[in-house]
Amino acid sequence: MWCAVRDSGGHYCPKKTDDLCGDVCGQESSQVSGMSRVRCILRGVDVKTCIFLFAVVPMCIFGIYLHGQKISYFLRPLWEKPPKPFHVIPHYYNENVSMENLCRLHGWGVREFPRRVYDAVLFSNELEILNLRWRELYPYITQFVLLESNSTFTGRPKPFVFKGNREQFKFVESRLTYGTIGGRFKKGENPFVEEAYQRVALDQLLKIAGITDDDLLIMSDVDEIPSAHTINLLRWCDDVPSVLHLQLKNYLYSFEFLMDDGSWRASVHRYQSGKTRYAHYRQSDNLLADAGWHCSFCFRHISDFIFKMKAYSHNDRVRFSHYLNPKRIQDVICKGADLFDMLPEEYTFKEIIGKMGPIPHSYSAVHLPAYLLENAQKYKFLLPGNCLRESR
Ligand SMILES: *[C@@H]1O[C@H](CO)[C@@H](O)[C@H](O)[C@H]1NC(C)=O
Ligand SMILES: *[C@@H]1O[C@H](CO)[C@@H](O)[C@H](O)[C@H]1NC(C)=O
């Protein structure tokens, strides 16, 4: 124990090196009297040791209480290996290149007629992003399938938000299969169980919507928006991998804060009845590059942020109630900082350190969903330079 802080370096000797610590004192004490042995022990119990015990240790404990999650995230590269890298498929696109040539550039054939495409989502409350998504994909979708529950994944009651706003979406009405499901409201359950339950119900709803073998099915969260030209390519080309993940650009709060291009959970499947299951995890190694946008926490109202922070599957992240203070949330949005005051979830120290601190502002609004730019006034809050949100 007294080895813990030595005069010299002040470094900590773990158990295994006890011998080594002992040796330093041991050499003299074996030869000389018990007197110097005592002196040797006392030399260990010096001022630094006291400071260590009565100041540093309590501070460490307090620090771990405040920042425990951060510390464990920072140390993640030590205990977790990165997943197997994807096989990234280069993505070719220009509006003036023919479909035949585009398919050929990917090594795929072109079909005589396009496949039917189903877009299925679990809906919570993200009305604005849903509108952008459906407007972007509208020309190429056979059926839009939307399921909503009156329970969040964390088991809190919520209204059927889509049902109450359905008239905003008249433009898809003729191609919409809408379903609701009652929450189970199990207290203290892992949110992933409710989520899985809702995804199974979505499989049922897809059958009701009339999906058949060989149709394409987009599996993604509402805020993971494939670009229209990507879906058009996949429905026209043959020999596309039967399960293909989409690499999306990750944005936070709006298209002003581009985090990285690391979003991969969205996927497009060639439907096989009895085999295809709606999921939001990794299901293949193929990833099509630059296939759209993932805009997280892209809400118009501060109240929507608060709702989402509470409803989030990782709701253990709201560790302090002041995280939900509207003024703090507004400041965080304008800075491009983290709502939960967390460290980036990465697998190497280099990436963690590279991504620490706020996201730099982006001034590009090139290659964004067309409907967003056509309605820039309405969607101002999603464009660069407009971080102030409406309170409500
Ligand atoms: C792209 O194609 C359109 C119509 O096919 C044509 O009017 C336009 O000039 C082309 N643009 C470029 C840059 O080649
Ligand atoms: C949720 O919806 C189900 C079915 O629509 C209904 O029976 C139940 O009472 C609702 N629960 C709440 C808390 O709204």
Tell me: do 101 and 162 sit in the same domain. Answer: yes
Tell me: do 64 and 106 sit in the same domain. Answer: no
Tally the domains of the chain. 2
Q: Measure Cα distances from 224 to 247, 306, 316, 339, 354 in Å.
A: 10, 20, 23, 20, 24
Q: How far is CA 39 from the centre of its chain?
A: 58
Tell me: do 159 and 197 sit in the same domain. Answer: yes
The token pair at 202 is: 């979505």
Q: Which of 298, 333, 355 is the last residue of a domain?
A: 298
- 296 bridge partner residues: 252
Tell me: do 35 and 113 sit in the same domain. Answer: no
Cα of 62 vs centre of ligand 2, distance in Å, is 43
Residue with tokens 């006890």: 18
Q: What is the DSSP string of 34-60?
A: HHHHHHHHHHHSSHHHHHIIIIIHHHH
Report, as an integer, the average pLDDT of 265-280.
96
Q: Has residue 329 been placed in a domain?
A: no
Tell me: do 69 and 96 sit in the same domain. Answer: no
Protein residue closest via CA to atom 6 of ligand 2: 182
Tell me: do 100 and 243 sit in the same domain. Answer: yes
Q: Has residue 382 been placed in a domain?
A: no
Q: Has residue 136 been placed in a domain?
A: yes
Residue 285 has pLDDT above 90, yes or no: yes
Q: Which of 79, 108, 128 is the last residue of a domain?
A: 79
Cα of 67 vs centre of ligand 1, distance in Å, is 56
Cα of 182 vs centre of ligand 2, distance in Å, is 5
Cα of 183 vs centre of ligand 2, distance in Å, is 7
Protein residue closest via CA to atom 8 of ligand 2: 182
Residue 276 has pLDDT above 90, yes or no: yes
Cα of 158 vs centre of ligand 2, distance in Å, is 10
The range of the structural domain enclosing residue 75 comes to: 2-79
Q: What is the pLDDT of residue 18?
A: 41
Q: Is the CB of 182 under 6 A from ligand 2?
A: yes
Q: What is the CA radius of gyration of the chain?
A: 28
Confidence tier at 342 by pLDDT (50, 70, 90):
confident
Q: Has residue 389 been placed in a domain?
A: no
Distance between CA atoms of 138 and 242, rounded to whole angstroms? 22
Confidence tier at 154 by pLDDT (50, 70, 90):
confident
Q: Is the CB of 157 under 6 A from ligand 2?
A: yes
Model pLDDT for residues 193-233, shown as the tens digit of each residue = 999 999 999 999 999 999 999 999 999 999 999 999 999 99
Q: Has residue 311 been placed in a domain?
A: no
Ligand 2 site-directed mutation target among 150, 161, 197, most atoms within 8 Å of CB = 150
Tell me: do 43 and 116 sit in the same domain. Answer: no
Q: Which of 79, 104, 121 is the last residue of a domain?
A: 79
Type of residue found at 286: N
* The dihedral sign for the CA sequence 123, 335, 316, 81: positive
Distance between CA atoms of 291 and 288, rounded to whole angstroms? 6
Model pLDDT for residues 4-63, shown as the tens digit of each residue = 334 444 344 444 434 444 444 445 445 555 556 656 555 666 777 777 778 878 777 777
